[in-house]
Amino acid sequence: MKQRHESLPEAGLDRLAEAMVAMQSADECLALLRDLTTPAELEALSDRWRVVELLRDGLPYREIHDRTGVSVTTVGRVARFLEMGHGGYRLALERLDPDQATVPGA
Q: pLDDT tens digit string along 17-62?
A: 999 999 999 999 999 999 999 999 999 999 999 999 999 999 999 9
Q: Sign of torsion, CA 79 21 17 31? A: positive
Q: Kindly report the average pLDDT of the chain as a whole number.
A: 91
pTM over 0.85: no
pLDDT for the residue numbered 90: 95
CA distance 36 to 6: 22
pLDDT-derived band at 14 (thresholds 50, 70, 90) equals very high
Instruction: Give span(s): CATH 1.10.1270.10, the chain.
Output: 39-106
User: Phi first, then psi: what are they for 17, rounded to 5°?
Assistant: -60, -40
CATH level 2 (architecture), domain 39-106: Orthogonal Bundle (1.10)
Angle between helices 72-84 and 88-96 (to 10 degrees): 80
Task: Cite the DSSP H helix spans in 1-106.
Answer: 8-22, 26-36, 39-56, 61-68, 72-84, 88-96
Mean pLDDT along residues 88-92: 96
